[in-house]
Amino acid sequence: MGKGRTNKPRKHFADKRREKQKKKEWDKNTPHKSYADIIRENSDFELYYKTQKIVPEDKWNMFISTLRTNLPVAFRITGSKAEAKTLLKIIKSDFFKGILNANLDDDKEKSETKSILHSLPFYPEELAWQLQLTRKDIRRSEAYFRLHNFLIAETNNGSISRQEVVSMVPPLVLDVKPWHKVLDMCAAPGSKTAQLIEMIHADEGNVFPEGFVIANDLDNNRCYMLVHQAKRLNSPNILITNHDSSVMPNFIFTKSDGTKDTLKFDRILADVPCSGDGTMRKNPDIWCKWSPVNGNNLHGIQYRIAKRGLELLAIGGRMVYSTCSLNPIENEAVLHRLLCETGDSVQLIDCRNLVPGLICDPGVTHWKPASKNLQFYDNWSDVPEQWQTQVRPKMFPPQADEVSKFHLERCMRILPHHQDTGGFFVAVLEKVASLPWESESGTLNKNEQNLGDNENKDKLGLQEESLQDVKLVKSGKRTLEEEKKLREPQKKRRRDLGYREDPFVFFKDDTEDVWQSIKKFYDISEELNPRCLLVRCHEGKKKNIYFTSPAIRDIVISNENTVKMINTGVKTFVRCDNKNMNCAFRLAQEGMQSIVCYISDKRKLQISKEDLIMLLQNNDPHTPPEIVKFSSDTQQRLKDFAIGSCILLYKEDKTDDPNQLNLQLVGWRGTMSLRAYVPTCDAIHYLRLLGADCSKFEKNKFEENRAAALVASEDVNNSDSKTEDSNEKLVMENDNCVKKVDDTD
């Protein structure tokens, strides 16, 4: 018998189809509980956390009652400083009050708005806001349909990021600077990654920061969620990779003298997979499925990810370890274990000063591991043999006389009742010297490199039998059973290669076939290095051309055979074969900020506010505004302007405001017309910033549904009426027939 085969008979296709149909019928007939039907109680959960004393006794009722309510919506304002400040003014203005108070009386307006919407005190420059409304309130209430439209349009444009309040904290305490090399080890779905990218681009005077972000995730499918998040920010300084972060390979880079070396990161975010019981307000399913064994089973992989992070960290660098779990086994126990092994080379630091106004509790210094049957243990020697695969020796807290040297109180525990959020755990680690198992150069010792996976699993007690029983709800991060499946040895699981990635093919030099025509048409400066441009195919027509930073280019080329890369670069040129064009590529709005400084003024068009508003309000590719409709100044500028892709420039007239609007949009100069070559969500965003009317883009789905229902009802009535007329006609015809028969007789 061939290798890998078994004696188990294969199922016939028809049998498989019948089984699938039965499963569908079972799913159809089995009642599924909605979130509203879930009873938000779990006696084991309450006993466990009361025993761990993560909440003072006098605060317990407040903690548990808050945990049983739905989570309010929160969002951050992103983008350039000028656009962010303008959007902030809009949010604080009567416009936003009108959105929120459309269903309120005038006398209640002021007080209600203040209670519904407020900025987060710990987030810099009032750029993060919380709404005392849930996702369901906003999505299903007609009173808030304009708010829903606002959130969707601005999110699609990349000007706001909808994100949990507690999720905003780890990047803030990581304290990223524009020159830092940053690694996000477990990045999907990507809201924190977006924050890290924004921090890299914080200095707008420096268009091309030296720093970059490598965002990694183990799950190939979830990497594409990450791509979607990152693309909204249009940064050439990000690379997305697909690896098991607990065994993340070393990255190689090229030093200034041309030699190769191992890359060490200045900042690392280890937001590790966890049981997610801090997300119960968002995911009520966890109330039904919570068990103390969930945290026990994840402790090992959390430790391994954090340990690998410290190995990849540069001396003097910082790593944030965070989870959305309340469990000390997943939090302080992991850190205690790391600090024991790293000795004086790593230390916990207190970074509360970076989030002033954030309410949080210190980390706990004592906890009790528990088995599946909720038996608590003070020492490893007390654990019965039957539970020794679940409760491991290194899960226990430090001895009383050693507590002070670990400084676990420097960790931050954010609980739901503190500021009406989810639960979260954040700790900041600083690497002050080489790890004990690293050589002086920072590389791993040979024994550490050869540590086998099976040995690791035995040490950490990750037993498959206990993992198979655990099923958790999705909380943004993966569930425990998904994590287990992804980390199974390759030969033990179904072969799943995921998507086959297109290659990253960089331009070799200035002689690339398409580059000369692009460079000539847009009169691009010699300062733009074409070697930072890439396509995703070796042969055939180049459809999209992407731009990356020099540092990302070097990492991609230096590691293409050892690291699985998913995406990098920002779309800059798009093929647009047009008979009237001298160049086969148009500009892409996504890459505008990256290359606008290299393009000469002959492809740039200054435009007035009124003309720009007209363009955006008539953003229809089939019927763009004719040139004769524009102001005389714009018509004069267009007189000798070559047909094709161009850049539309608008600068605010104000001189007293340091954050003047300075908009740069891709346009298209046609034979007789001019249009803005931007997506609808961008058009809405720019109109909003300009204080123009966006009403034509406002959609009230509730009115549309009512109108559709009315049309359907009229169709039914008309159908009934036609049926009645038809029946009456038929009766009359029958009567006439009878009469004729009678006359004949």
Given the residues 324, 351, 411, 681, select the one marked as catalytic. Answer: 324
Helix (H) or strand (E) holding 225: helix 220-231
Bridge-based pairing of strands 313-323 and 265-271 is: parallel
Name 606's Cβ contacts closer than 8 Å, sequence gap at least 6.
Answer: 637, 649, 650, 651
Contact of 172 with 355, CB cutoff 8 Å: yes
Contact of 518 with 588, CB cutoff 8 Å: no
Contact of 269 with 181, CB cutoff 8 Å: no
Lookup: tokens for 182: 């940053």
Q: What is the DSSP string of 282-296?
A: T-THHHHH--HHHHH
Q: Residue 616's closest CA among 694, 669, 668, 699?
A: 694
**DSSP structure class, residue 71:** P
Contact of 176 with 196, CB cutoff 8 Å: yes
How far is residue 80 from each of residues 659, 661, 664, measured CA to CA in Å?
9, 10, 12
Judged by phi (left if over 0) then psi (alpha if -120 to 50, else beta), residue 442 lies in left
Q: Which residues of 488-504 are buried (b: 16+ CB within 10 A; e: fewer)?
A: eeeeeeeeeeeeeeeeb
Contact of 215 with 239, CB cutoff 8 Å: yes
Q: What is the DSSP string of 651-711?
A: E---SS-SS--EEEEEEEE-SSBEEE---HHHHHHHHHHTT---GGG---HHHHHHHHHHH
Contact of 364 with 53, CB cutoff 8 Å: yes
| Burial (CB count <10 Å: 0-12, 13-18, 19+), residue 416 | buried
Contact of 293 with 471, CB cutoff 8 Å: no
Between vectors from CA 390 to CA 384 and to CA 393, what angle results, nearest 5°?
A: 75
Q: What is the DSSP string of 236-248?
A: SSEEEE---GGGP
Helix (H) or strand (E) holding 319: strand 313-323
Q: Residue 219's closest CA among 264, 184, 189?
A: 189
The Cα–Cα gap between 279 and 325 comes to 8
Torsion angles phi and psi, residue 444, rounded to 5:
-75, 150
Place of tokens 């990253």: 504
The Cα–Cα gap between 222 and 437 comes to 33
Contact of 217 with 478, CB cutoff 8 Å: no
The Cα–Cα gap between 502 and 133 comes to 42
Name 594's Cβ contacts closer than 8 Å, sequence gap at least 6.
Answer: 207, 234, 236, 547, 570, 572
Lookup: tokens for 31: 């009642």
- 576 in active site: no
List strand residue ranges (DSSP E) for 583-657, in order.
Answer: 585-587, 604-606, 644-651
Half-sphere exposure of 321 (CA within 13 A, CB side): 35
The Cα–Cα gap between 586 and 667 comes to 9
The Cα–Cα gap between 633 and 612 comes to 13
Q: Residue 574's closest CA among 557, 587, 563, 583?
A: 587
| Residues tagged active-site | 324
